[in-house]
Chain A
Amino acid sequence: GAGVSQSPSNKVTEKGKDVELRCDPISGHTALYWYRQSLGQGLEFLIYFQGNSAPDKSGLPSDRFSAERTGGSVSTLTIQRTQQEDSAVYLCASTTPPSGYTFGSGTRLTVV
C-alpha cells in the first residue's frame, strides 16, 4: 500500500481482556517497529522485526506483551490480560534501512 496501515484505529477493552493490534507495513520494507506513546510522552520502543525475526524484544514491558510478523509483511501486537496502564497509542513504523521510518497513524487503546 501507499503507507503504513494500522487497525483498529481505536479500541476500547475491558480490563483483563486480550487485544490484538495489526500493522500492515509498506510493501517491500524489511524492518518493522512497534512503539508505544502515552499521553504527553515520547515514543517508547517495544520491539522490532527484521524480516520475520525479532532480534530485539527488550522493550516489551511485560510477558503479557507479544508480537509476531508473518511473510515478512503483516505484524500483530498482542496484549494479554490488559491493564489500565496499557492505555496508550500504539504506533507501528516500517523501513528498509538506512532510510527513515514511515509511521502509521496508530491504534488508540483504552482499557476501562
Chain B
Amino acid sequence: GENVEQHPSTLSVQEGDSAVIKCTYSDSASNYFPWYKQELGKGPQLIIDIRSNVGEKKDQRIAVTLNKTAKHFSLHITETQPEDSAVYFCAAKPPNSGYALNFGKGTSLLVTP
C-alpha cells in the first residue's frame, strides 16, 4: 500500500522566516495531496491541497509543490507568524481508495517571536 514519509518531525523557526516541510510517497499512481494543520485539542484542518496534474499551488503565505517524477511534495510557509505553530500533516490518496488518505506522521512547527 501507499507509504508516506514526512520530514522533519520537529521544526523551529523565528517569526518572519520561512518553513519548509517535505513528504515522499511510494505509490506513483497517487493523485491527490492535501496538507492539514492540527492545533492542540482540535481536529486537523485542511489548509491547502494539490492534484497530480498541477506542479505548484499557492494561497497567500502557503504554497505546495509537487514533483511526480521524484514522488515528493512540499509545504512552504513564508513570513511565519506565532499562530502558524501547530502540527502539520501531509497525505496522499492512492487511486481506487474511495478518498481514504494515507498520512505522514506529522511535523511539529514552532514559530518563536
Contact = CB atoms under 8 A, between A and B. Distances in A.
Interface string A63-105: 0000000000000000000000000000101010110111111
Contacts of B44: 43, 91, 101, 103
B42 interface: yes
Contacts of B32: 98
B42 A48 contact: no
Contact of A104 (B43, B49, B100): B43
Contact of B101 (A41, A101, A106): A101
A105 B100 contact: no
A20 to B, nearest CB: 19
A46 B51 CA distance: 24
Interface residues of A, number: 25
B98 A91 contact: no
Given A105-B42, A105-B43, A45 B98 contact: no
Determine the main DSSP class of A at the interface with B: strand
B99 A95 contact: yes
Interface of A: 4, 31, 33, 35, 41-43, 45, 48, 50, 55-56, 59, 91, 93, 95, 97-98, 100-106
13 contacts: A42-B4, A42-B89, A43-B44, A43-B91, A56-B100, A91-B44, A98-B32, A98-B99, A100-B46, A101-B46, A105-B41, A105-B42, A106-B43
Interface of B: 4, 6, 32, 34, 36, 41-46, 49, 89, 91, 97-106
Given A43-B89, A102-B46, A103-B44, 13 more contacts: A4-B43, A33-B100, A41-B105, A42-B104, A42-B106, A43-B44, A45-B101, A55-B98, A101-B99, A101-B101, A103-B45, A105-B41, A106-B43
